Amino acid sequence: MNGTFSRAFGCPMRYIQGPGELKSLPHYVMEYGTSAYILIDGFIYDFITETLAGIFKDTGAVYRTASFGGESCQSEVDKAVDEIKAYGSDLIVCIGGGKTIDTTKLIADSLDIPRIIVPSSASTDAPTAGLAGLYRPDGVQIKAIKTKRNSELVLVDSEIVVNAPARLFSAGMGDAMATWLEARANYASCTPNYIGEGYRPTRAAMAIARECSEILFEDGRNALAAVKRHLVTEEVENVIEANTLLSGLGFENTGCAAAHGIHAGLSEIASAHSFLHGEKVAFSILCMMVIENTPSDEMDRTINFLMDVDLPITLGQLNIEPSEENLSLIVDHTVNHNNLIHHEPHIINEAIVRNAILAADELGRHYLSRRQNTET
């Protein structure tokens, strides 16, 4: 229960999105200094460094690149902090995915320097959020950290996004689809948001979360089809905005609930580690709707959408066997080691969560079977 009548809203200083926007990076670097440390995802490192050499030529800005080691853990942060101190950078730039972005936020916090985020896909809302996940080197999340500042700039090049694997785009929609559902739950339970010590959400935040959902339903299917052909369209731009900006502002200013709480439990299962954040959130949305007894028409609309954009709706699709051992681990972590599930305006206990997971799995298998029968 929120103990304050005050409301609050937080966001990045600027958000810029469009095709070819990476070319404007030197201009924005020069606004904060002349020397940048650029942390780049390892799998795009060669391509990006070649591109940067061309766009930084004759700009007066200098930079040093580093390849991200793959995990947002303290050793990665410490390594980069030492390198930046030795190099004397004025700011840090991130070009990459969620964990590269989280690491960059933690580095910027440690050094109290500006940060520019250039996401390489639209797979998460991490670019615009003021939270950063800290993980163990083996990939298990330790905690989410509120950073001292929001990013000075989020710069999204939609041409880079559409050339990333389409699976990442789908996962971003899974994560974004939870935004309005969780905003609604937090509003009903008077749960504080993630701004400062936690406040009531603004009406603006609730409107943003709702619009995020509507964009996905309206444009998500056609946008994914375009991304699979590496095409930038208006629908693609709309979904990039929903996945990145609206989802990020929505969850930070309204909060997370059961979908992300159950996601945390699913993440404890080793066989599911190869699946993306948004893929696990997608199935967790079904679990959340079961807990909330969501009206059947809304549930039907949501499940059909998730299937249409290639997202998992069963445990089996996440490579999770519904064994007693796995269920106990998922439920224990969800209920006893993560408070997000308790943001729901409903009674929560281990039995309720366990039953919801199994019911959601059964529901998902029913929808898959029905679709397969229709297609044949």
**Closest Cα to residue 135, out of 158, 182, 102?**
102
- Residue 324 has a CB neighbour count (10 Å cut-off) of 8
Q: Which of 175, 219, 333, 361 is catalytic?
A: 175
Beta-bridge partners for 16: 155
Question: Which backbone phi and psi does 282 adopt, to 5 degrees?
Answer: -60, -50
Find the angle CA(82)-CA(40)-CA(119) to the nearest 5 degrees: 125
Question: Which backbone phi and psi does 17 adopt, to 5 degrees?
Answer: -140, 135
**Closest Cα to residue 155, out of 69, 9, 26, 10?**
26
Residues 6+ apart with CB under 8 A from 366: none
Task: With H, G, I as helix, E, B as strand and everything else as coil, classify residue 35.
Answer: strand
Q: Which of 277, 333, 343, 361 is catalytic?
A: 277
Catalytic residue list contains 277: yes
- Distance in angstroms (rounded) separating the CA atoms of residues 182 and 204: 15
Task: With H, G, I as helix, E, B as strand and everything else as coil, classify residue 68.
Answer: coil
- Distance in angstroms (rounded) separating the CA atoms of residues 298 and 220: 17
Q: Which of 41, 263, 333, 361 is catalytic?
A: 263
DSSP 61: -
Catalytic residue list contains 260: yes
| Residue 239, CA distances (Å) to 54, 60, 159, 176, 334 in order | 29, 35, 14, 9, 29
Q: Which of 41, 125, 260, 361 is catalytic?
A: 260
Gyration radius from the chain CA atoms? 20
Structure tokens at 98: 């969620």
Catalytic residue list contains 342: no
Catalytic residue list contains 175: yes
Q: Which residues are catalytic?
A: 175, 260, 263, 277
